[in-house]
Amino acid sequence: MKLLFELSGEHPELPFAELECVGRILDRKPQVAVAECPDPDATARLALSHAVMEYLGECPAGVSALRELLRDLGIATDRPFAGRAKKIHGTVMDATQLDLERLIGTMIEGPVSLSHPEEEYRVVCSGDRCYFGKVIRKIDRGDFAYRNPMRRPFFHPGVMMPIIARALVNLSLIGRGDLLFDPFCGTGGVLLEAHMVGARVLGSDAEEAMIAGSRANLPGADLLLADATTMPLCDSSIDAVVTDLPYGQSVRIRAASMERLYARSLSEIRRVLKEGRRAVVVTHQEIPAIAGEYFEITGMFRQRVHRSLTRRIMVLQ
């Protein structure tokens, strides 16, 4: 099914990369993507999209072109509907959002209800194009806020927020029933998001307090007290790895140095990962030279957390 996505503006590239877990991108503009998706229901797992729509058409970013598109579509409905519009920064569309919404309301035959619509039609203007679709899903970002790490039974400073943890899980292309492993599981945030998309999860950490905390946050999870440089796992036994490598002088490590820890843990990740599958690794240092010894780097993204911290997200295969 051809779907239209209104993406979040939190990162210029990550929302597009995340879509690979549900389909193949056919077209893209800032904060907009068109993709072929075999299972529209799978889009419920996305974190960096605002709305998912059935793709109905597109046109140049102008009122007359949009009016012509709506006329050609000839949409009629007996259900109360609302027309919505979103103008992405940088669009050449000069009409106001309100004018665009009124145009949709007048060009679709049916009862308009702005307060209690049963259907929603949306135009998204980005760059020199307007994309039009019927909303089939809105991503409830409130669910991620509800899982804020400070609301969990066990909290530790510096943990990743759920919305980014979910995006990383999606970048790994883990499927329902597949086994995802986090060798530096910490408080279990990645494991929780993987569990919520239907994956089986396995976590390990070298600190007993973190294993106990992960068990409190995700009861019933399979957890190991283990050194990531010598994992007690069989070769080619894991479908995906997602992990945030430790950093900073305060981190307790068993390797001789942080670089040694990275090299040995990446070597172990490569050993336990099935052929052709992905590891998504977050670092706070530049380590592509180390990662390149064991993997092909198929994606690299930078995310600024605050003035002194920038995450490097690497997709390894």
The enclosing domain of 66 has a CATH number of 3.30.2130.30
Of 138, 170, 191, the domain-final residue:
138
Same domain, 309 and 220: yes
CB distance 111 to 47 below 8 Å:
no
Phi, psi dihedral angles at 220 (to 5 degrees): 90, -5
Same domain, 52 and 152: no
pLDDT-derived band at 19, boundaries 50, 70, 90:
very high
Indicate whether 249 pLDDT > 60: no
Same domain, 222 and 273: yes
Q: Which residues pair with 109 in a beta bridge?
A: 76
- Beta-carbon-side half-sphere exposure of residue 309 (alpha carbons within 13 Å): 10
The fraction of the chain above a pLDDT of 70, given in percent, is 97
Same domain, 293 and 165: yes
Contacts of 150 (CB under 8 A, 6+ apart): none
pLDDT-derived band at 255, boundaries 50, 70, 90:
low
pLDDT by residue (tens digit) across 163-200? Answer: 999 999 999 999 999 999 999 999 999 999 999 999 99
Q: What is the number of other CB atoms lying within 10 angstroms of the CB of residue 207?
A: 14
Residue type, 101: E
Mean pLDDT to the nearest integer, 224-245: 97
Which residue reads 């519009």 in tokens? Answer: 85
Distances (CA, A) of 197 to 71, 123, 140, 214, 260: 40, 29, 15, 18, 33
Same domain, 97 and 202: no
Of 138, 163, 187, the domain-final residue:
138
Q: How many domains does the chain have?
A: 2
Same domain, 111 and 187: no
CA distance 46 to 137: 11
CB distance 184 to 244 below 8 Å:
yes
Coil, strand or helix at 227: coil
pLDDT-derived band at 106, boundaries 50, 70, 90:
very high
Give the domain extent around 223.
142-316
Which helix (H) or strand (E) segment holds residue 274: the answer is strand 273-283
> Among the residues of 27-111, which ranges form H helices?
63-73, 97-107
Residue type, 112: V
Same domain, 163 and 102: no
Same domain, 132 and 226: no
Of 138, 157, 174, the domain-final residue:
138
Indicate whether 11 pLDDT > 90: yes
Indicate whether 301 pLDDT > 70: yes
pLDDT-derived band at 308, boundaries 50, 70, 90:
confident
Of 41, 29, 48, 274, whose CA–CA distance to 161 is shortest? Answer: 48
Same domain, 148 and 251: yes
Same domain, 269 and 168: yes
Predicted TM-score (pTM) of the model is 0.95
The enclosing domain of 193 has a CATH number of 3.40.50.150
CB distance 202 to 188 below 8 Å:
no
Same domain, 160 and 221: yes
CA distance 105 to 78: 13
